Structure 1
Amino acid sequence: MAVSDGTAPVEPTGIDELLERVRADLDRVDPREAHKAVADGALLVDIRYAALRDRDGLIPGALVVERNELEWRLDPRGSHRAPEATDHGLRVIVVCNEGYASSLAAASLRLLGLRRATDLVGGFQAWREAGLPVAR
């Protein structure tokens, strides 16, 4: 049994249940909605690791921030923030390879106060399948 603070028992949560729970709070977008949101000022953040970006290409204009740096780079009050991380009202759309890790990442950004953070359903692969721009 998992323990939260040494006194209160916590039931373990499986990844499928966790994904379902965090996705219930996200206004997830499909590739076409994401493309339009970016045109309207949303920040698209690609969290895929370098090997996937090298293999499949990049979404033009996306900010590349690997997953292990995401919270530090997107926290508007953080000392290591990216210049694009302007305020907590920024619409952020997180992109991973297939749309799983991005849901967890978007939930983490919401815990930092980025209340409009969400993710791309199907990830980069769905973006590419939709025929949207990809750069090599």
Structure 2
Amino acid sequence: MAPRGRSIDEILADARSRLDRIGPAEAAAAAADGAVLVDIRPAAQRRAHGEIPGSLIIERNVLEWRFDPRSDARLPIASFDLRVVVLCQEGYTSSLAAASLRDLGLHRATDLAGGYVAWQAAGLPTRPGGEVIP
């Protein structure tokens, strides 16, 4: 039987082709300039590895509902012009999530290449992990 659909590698490549991915220093500068840095990692990962101070914790399973300006479950900051930088642990899931936000019309959404691991390796501020913010 021939394979159907696309592989995850193809889906990831497609998602990344639609993003202007940024590194840790660019993400820190963007956040200082008003971008929203969104950590989509599960609570267990944040507890184990830490968090970025000032990042907004929105777990992956509710991301689109929180940022779609048309959603009843949207955050007050949700807008099509909002600059959102999504991060995960290593920069894979965040690419898929940022592309999904682009699909919703958030044309400035992108992700942190290398994720939390790259941020930490760059020596940027971190803190011990905490709780989910709904």
TM-score by length of 2: 0.91
Q: Deviations over 1:55-100 (max 9, x none)?
A: 1111111110000000011112211112232x10111000001000
Partner of 1:125: 117
Map of 2:89 onto structure 1: 97
Where does residue 16 of structure 1 map in the other structure? 9
Question: Does residue 36 in structure 1 map to residue 29 in structure 2?
Answer: yes
How many residues are treated as equivalent by the alignment?
128
Instruction: State yes or no: 1:109 paired with 2:97.
Output: no
Greater RCO, 1 or 2 (C-alpha within 8 Å, sep 6+):
2
Query: Identity of paired residues, percent?
Result: 61
Unaligned runs of 5+ in 1: 3-10
The runs of at least 4 aligned residues of structure 1 exceeding 3 Å deviation read none
Partners in 1 of 2:50 and 2:5 — Cα distance? Answer: 37
Aligned residue for 2:85, secondary structure, equals strand
Pair 1:49 & 2:71 matched: no
When normalised by structure 1's length, the TM-score is 0.89
1:60 maps to a residue whose letter is P
- In our comparison, the structure showing a higher alpha carbon Rg is 1
CA distance in 1, matches of 2:99, 2:109: 7
Structure 2, unmatched stretches of 5+, are 129-134
- What is the rounded CA distance, in whole Å, between the counterparts of 1:21 and 1:129 in structure 2? 27
Query: 1:58 — aligned with what?
Result: 51
